[in-house]
Chain A
Amino acid sequence: MNRIQNLISQIKQQRFYNNQITDIITIPPVPPIYAEPDDNLKTLRSWDPSIERLYIHQAEACRLVQEGRNVIITTPTASGKTLAFNLPILQDITQTPGTRALYIYPAKALANDQLKVLETIKERSGLKFEAGIYDGDTESHLKKHLRDEADIIITNPYELHQILPFHPKWNKFYKGLKYVVIDEAHRYKGVFGSNIAMLMRRLKRVLAIYGVNPQFIASTASIANPLEFITKLTGEQFESVDKNGAPSAEKYLVLWDSSFNPQKSVHTQTKDLLLFCAKSGFQTLSFTSSRRMAELIRMWANAEDRSTDILCYRAGYDPATRREIERKLKEKEVLGVVSTNALELGIDIGQLDVIILSGYPGTISSFWQQAGRAGRKNNDSAVVYLPHEDALQKYLLHNPSILTSKTFENAIISTENPNIIMGHVLCALSEAPSKSKKIFDDIDASPFVDAMAGHGLVTETPRGYIYSGARRPQDTVPLESMGSGTVKIKINGRILEEVEMSRACNECYKGAVYIHNGETYVIKELNLESGEAVAAKEDVDHYTEPMKDEDVEILKVKKTRDCTGYRLCFGDVKVTEFFKAYRTKKAGKVISCDDLMMPPLKFNTEAVWMEFDYKIVSLIKSAGLDFDGSIHAAEHALIALSPLFAMCDRNDIGGRSYPAYGDDGNPCIFIYDGYDGGIGISEKLFEVFGSLASNTMEMVTNCGCEEGCPYCVYSPKCGNGNNPIDKAGSLIILNYLI
């Protein structure tokens, strides 16, 4: 029996254990696959003799970069991706003076890590090059120095968004710019990613002024569609490097069903596990869903046992504190840490013995990013997964093969959302005039240019189209949201967060409990006209949800697929959401219901929908089942599993089922993007619909409940309080879809 098997058998003897372990999956060790020694290895060893070999993916990526291709590297955390692009870039920079590279990182901490990596290479190799971080914290005299002298500038998308208009000052850097590195590219998904896609096109447009067409190198965590994704993000053709050569030790995936011990909440069980593993001498890191939970688990653990000092790590701590915890983890000075997903990103903390995932982090990709923290060289490790109360989370507990086969989600971004494009068109035109109305190579902005010229924000001149508004567009166009209507949530006059109009209607009505970074706030006032909500910090243990009706109107059918008994469609729709009331719930029970006075929310978006033959109604009715409840339940189940296929959050999509829709009166189920203009989720669901339907069928069939539960056909955000619901009938409908 090895260390981990021994640990598991000890867990089974603890008082908190009540047969929660439903399965243990052994993930076999993978030996390293090295590339044949080549010139790159020789170069590398001349820089650092301690390096023995290159893994195949590193060698392959180097070769492609040297051939001048755009490359995307899709290998797991800690597989040495950074080296794969640093090697050829540094080689080029040191051989051809004046060659420059721009590294774009989604977060400050990652930029710092990359700078450290480069400084280390420099120190060991004695290579002469200059690299620096250029962001909001960089002092202005240093900024000028970096622009004029640095070979490598590391920045983030927010800074890039702000500095593009200053391109004349960047003239020297841009003229020599040969490489643009987009590391951790999977972070650029959804609305944020769609904004970054436009930012990349603006960057390319500015570079074209200087006659520069750089090579792009991207790295991402595992996703199903790296090439499709990166092409949308950059508008460039890429070569994919995905054959991983890095080794991994044996790993155990422990599946833990907390409902087997109804006396203790899933969070208490997380604390028990964390504390026990740490006390047994296994360095353990537990990921939780919120800051508040992270703090609570640490508090409970330390109250129970002072001898093992459990630490907490989350965003919001000052950088020095975080660096200290990272160091303690790396140097094995601490045995137990509980963290939010703040530690998921590529921050270097070394490898640990046990990772506890309390709650599913939302995507399979994130799951393995977090789980990837386990597994010391040649040492086995364990990953414990404790799902929270949710259909998808529980589904994965019973179908761990989805996790282990690593069939990843598709990362979704859209280059067609009018709200996003419009803002960036204005930014682009403020950076340089455009002779062509199209503006971008691969996105036709003409309709936007025409529309905004009609409103005086764009003007046609003999020099091309120019921006003619009165506000700096870079300050007005946010990267995290759509830029159309937003609501600022304020607390004591300070802005807590700015959210989309639709999210504000759904989560920030007067009386709502709003959760921000794991803290609870109560909304005191919502003014949609002025775009402001007033919140107060209140520690509450209840939550609220709106009761609403949706109405979906088809504007344009763009794709259809005829299937037996139903027709699958994709297209543009107009969604109207009517807010009726909101309910206050505590521990799943409704404690009050209050009226809501709000105007309906209308937006145009994209949807995928199923139009059924009418005969399905008689089929269900003849079985003595409730049709309205059946179609409603089927809708919920389909939405629950959608995030498995399109990398998104359940809150990013909405749904509406009609027992009888439109003039024909046929039953219909709509699933739509919850964003004005659409973000590409429904389009992806249309593509993968067959798999979505069969997985959903399997989930509902295998759920042990009789009449439906949060693990199958109940939706936590149903506007009708999950009423009516008929699980048995939903199975007939789902069966129909396969």
Chain B
Amino acid sequence: MYNSPMEINNDFLNRFRDNSGKKPHKKQVKELPGEVVERNGTRFLVTTTSKTFNGFTLPEREFFDKSYSDSLELLYGIRDNKKKTIADRGIRNLHDAKNNEKFSDEARRILSALAKDIHAVKDILGARFSPSHRLFFLLCAFFKPEELLFIDIETKSLFFETSIIEIGCGYFEGKKFTVKQFTCLKDAAEYEVLEEFGKLLHGKKAFVTFNGRTFDIPFIDNRISYYGGISSAADIPGMHNFDLLHFSRCCFRNEYDSYRLKSMEVNLLGKERDGDIEGSEVEIYYNNYIESGDPAFLEPIVYHNREDILAMVELFERIFDRWV
């Protein structure tokens, strides 16, 4: 039976909305923080900011190769104790192992990957180490800073059956780090935002994310599949991903109680954000913005996302300092 006009009771509607009942705090902002782009009848916001990072570098390739060939653990069955035993027998790295009858074949195979490409090296590492291992981080030696794309997304919920609100990206041009953020101004603009994001992938070879392995990357993947594919973003599956959450946990093991980005920022970087919102509050602010059109609800989302990306660059540097 249909009733017209259709009445839908609020109980039903609220089950599909954020119902935490939290009221957002408005900032005193009058204008949208960026440039409004209209396409296909939908609108999204492009926010571009930049910051200089003087000290950002990536390790030299020789450094990686040395760390790699020093890792006797890449040999099957070699762990800490065994390592000492064979070190006493004069095997201190894989090159030494090449000359040992027992390890020769395996050591040659492992070292030969270095002459191939990053995928061959990744396969060797993946067979012996967890993805949070230092050597996985050091794979950044295979890239130039200009080839990295830092990304962070804001979404309506943790599930990809709901949509993306904003994609923030950061990339280097020399010492200049540019943050480009695409924010849906209507729910309808998600596809266009993904398309814009796809265009930024040109010339990029690796993502840097915080928890992107389980969240950001699969989320983006699934949203693209939802629309049946987006040609500009076709290169995503070939991109390498440096997930800083996993490296932080490993690099600063037992040093902190929490490895959330915000607490790392406070405890490791010694920074506190001014009036920032929680990731879980994004959807509340966004809903208020959609309902009222008041930019004061949107600005905190853009700010939050940008700060996350900038914090990722600094975190990357700290891990670099510790491990390189």
Contact = CB atoms under 8 A, between A and B. Distances in A.
A161 to B, nearest CB: 12
24 contacts: A423-B12, A426-B16, A447-B2, A460-B188, A461-B187, A462-B40, A462-B42, A462-B188, A463-B191, A467-B161, A470-B16, A470-B18, A470-B287, A472-B162, A473-B16, A476-B15, A483-B12, A483-B15, A484-B9, A485-B12, A531-B11, A604-B3, A677-B1, A678-B1
B188 A459 contact: yes
A468 B1 contact: no
A472 B40 CA distance: 27
A572 interface: yes
A468 B161 CA distance: 9
B56 to A, nearest CB: 36
Contacts of B9: 484-485
A604 B1 contact: yes
Given A418-B1, A451-B6, A469-B16, A433 B40 contact: no
A470 B2 contact: no
Interface in A433-455: 433, 447-448, 450-452, 455
A168 interface: yes
Q: Which are the 8 A-B pairs with shortest beta-carbon distances?
A: A469-B16, A461-B188, A472-B159, A451-B6, A168-B225, A468-B187, A459-B187, A430-B161
Contact of A462 (B2, B4, B191): B191
B161 A606 contact: no
A678 to B, nearest CB: 5
B163 A466 contact: yes
Tell me the interface secondary structure of chain A in the complex: mixed
Interface in A476-497: 476, 483-485
B187 A466 contact: yes
A422 interface: yes
Contact of A461 (B13, B156, B159, B190): B190
B12 A471 contact: no
**Candidate in A417, A484, A555 with the most chain B CB atoms within 10 angstroms:** A484
B161 A419 contact: no
Given A418-B6, A423-B12, A432-B228, 18 more contacts: A165-B161, A430-B161, A451-B7, A452-B8, A455-B13, A460-B188, A462-B41, A467-B163, A471-B15, A471-B17, A471-B18, A472-B162, A476-B16, A483-B12, A572-B1, A605-B1, A677-B1, A678-B1
Nearest to A455: B13
**Candidate in B6, B160, B283, B291 with the most chain A CB atoms within 10 angstroms:** B6
Contact of A473 (B5, B161, B187, B290): B161
A577 B291 CA distance: 36
A461 B42 contact: yes
Contacts of B291: 456
B162 A470 contact: yes
Contacts of A484: 9, 11-12
A573 B8 CA distance: 17
B157 A472 contact: yes
Interface residues of B, number: 41
B194 to A, nearest CB: 11
B6 A455 contact: no
Interface residues of A, number: 49
B98 interface: no
A171 to B, nearest CB: 9
B186 A459 contact: yes
A433 B227 contact: yes
A422 B8 CA distance: 9
B323 interface: no
Nearest to A167: B225
Interface in B1-41: 1-9, 11-13, 15-18, 40-41
A433 B188 CA distance: 11
Interface of A: 165, 168, 209, 416-419, 422-423, 426, 430-433, 447-448, 450-452, 455-457, 459-463, 466-476, 483-485, 531, 555, 572, 604-606, 677-678
Nearest to A486: B11
B214 to A, nearest CB: 13
Contacts of B15: 471, 476, 483
A713 B16 CA distance: 45
A417 B8 contact: no
B290 A456 contact: yes
B226 interface: yes
Nearest to A678: B1
Contacts of B7: 451
B283 A470 contact: yes
Contact of B6 (A430, A450, A457): A450
Contacts of A469: 16-17, 156, 162
Contact of A418 (B3, B11, B42): B3
A419 B12 CA distance: 9
A419 B283 CA distance: 26
Contacts of B157: 470-472
Interface in B282-324: 283, 287, 290-291
A472 B15 CA distance: 10
B222 interface: yes
Nearest to B230: A463
B156 A470 contact: yes
Contacts of A418: 1-3, 6
Contacts of B159: 471-472, 475
A319 B145 CA distance: 58
Interface string B86-97: 000000000000
A318 to B, nearest CB: 32
A451 B8 contact: yes
**Candidate in B16, B157, B291 with the most chain A CB atoms within 10 angstroms:** B16
A483 B13 CA distance: 10
Nearest to B155: A470
Contact of A433 (B13, B226, B290): B226
A457 B162 CA distance: 10
A472 B3 contact: no
Given A416-B2, A459-B187, A471 B226 contact: no
A711 B42 CA distance: 66
Nearest to B18: A470
Nearest to B13: A455
Contacts of B18: 470-471
Contacts of B160: 165
B2 A472 contact: no
Nearest to B8: A451
Nearest to B6: A451
A467 B161 CA distance: 8
A485 B1 contact: no
A459 B165 CA distance: 14
A572 B226 contact: no
B66 to A, nearest CB: 36
B227 A463 contact: yes
Contacts of B40: 462
A544 B4 CA distance: 38
A239 B3 CA distance: 34
A572 B3 contact: yes
Given A468-B187, A470-B287, A484-B11, A606 B162 contact: no
A468 B160 CA distance: 11
Contacts of B11: 484-485, 531
A459 B188 CA distance: 6
Nearest to A168: B225
Contact of A417 (B1, B6, B188, B228): B1
A413 to B, nearest CB: 14
**Candidate in A450, A463, A531, A555 with the most chain B CB atoms within 10 angstroms:** A463
